[in-house]
Amino acid sequence: MTVYRELNTPLRTIMTPGPVEADPRVLRAMSTPILGQFDPAFTQIMNETMDMLRQVFQTKNHWAFPIDGTSRSGLEAVLTSVVAPGDKVLIPIFGRFGHLLTEIAERNGAQIHTIETEWGQVFDQDEIIEALERVKPKVLAIVHGETSTGCMQPLDKVGKACREMGIISIVDAVATIAGTEVKVDEWQLDAVIGGTQKCFSVPSGMAPITYNERVEKILSSRKKVERGVRTAEDAVDVLHPIQSNYFDLSQLQDYWGPRRLNHHTEATSMLYALREGARVVLEEGLEARFARHRLHEKAIMEGVKAMGLTLFNDVPWKLPMVTCVNIPEGIDGEAVRSMLLEQFGIEIASSFGPLHGKIWRIGAMGYSCRKENVFAVLAGLEAALIRNGAVVQRGEALQAALNVYETAAAEKVMM
Q: Which of 96, 113, 138, 298 binds a copy of itself (CB under 8 A)?
A: 96
State which of residues 111, 121, 262, 388 lies at the interface with a copy of itself (CB under 8 A).
262
| Contacts of a copy of itself in 361-400 (CB under 8 A) | none
CA 341 – CA 22 distance, rounded (Å) = 18
Of residues 134 through 163, those in contact with a copy of itself by CB under 8 A are 148
Q: Rounded to 5 degrees, what are φ and ψ at 152?
A: -125, 125
120 touching a copy of itself, by CB under 8 A: no
Vertex 332, ends 330 and 336: CA angle to 5°? 125
Of 283, 309, 331, 287, the residue nearest 378 (C-alpha): 309
List beta partners, residue 323: 362
Give the binding range for a copy of itself (CB under 8 A) out of 41-49, 165-173, 326-334, 391-399: 41-49
Least separation in angstroms between residue 165's CB and a copy of itself is: 27
The CB-of-132 to a copy of itself minimum distance in angstroms stands at 22
- Residue 159 or residue 380: which is nearer to a copy of itself going by CB? 380
The yes or no reply on residue 19 touching a copy of itself (CB under 8 A) is: yes
Q: Do the beta carbons of residue 172 and residue 163 sit within 8 Å? A: no
User: Are 71 and 207 contacting, i.e. CB atoms less than 8 angstroms apart?
Assistant: yes
Span interacting with a copy of itself, options 21-29, 212-220, 309-317, 393-401, rule CB under 8 A = 21-29
Q: Residue 119: helix, strand or coil by DSSP?
A: strand
Measured from the CB atom, the residue of 111 and 393 that comes closer to a copy of itself is 111
What's the min distance (Å) between Cβ of 41 and a copy of itself? 5
Q: Nearest 5°: phi and psi at 194?
A: -110, 175
> Do 392 and 385 contact (CB within 8 A), yes or no?
yes
Angle, helices 71-82/96-107, rounded to nearest 10 degrees: 40
Question: Maximum Cα–Cα distance for the chain, whole Å?
Answer: 74
Phi, psi of 325 (to 5 degrees): -110, 130
The verdict on 121 binding a copy of itself (CB under 8 A) reads: no
Choose which of 86, 353, 357, 395 interacts with a copy of itself (CB under 8 A).
Answer: 353
272 lines the binding site for a copy of itself (CB under 8 A): yes
Please select the residue that binds a copy of itself; options are 64, 82, 100, 219, rule is CB under 8 A: 100
Among 172, 190, 276, 382, binds a copy of itself (CB under 8 A): 276
Contact call for residue 48 and a copy of itself (CB under 8 A): yes
* Bridge partners for 173 per DSSP: 194
Site for a copy of itself in 228-247 (CB under 8 A): 228-229, 241-247
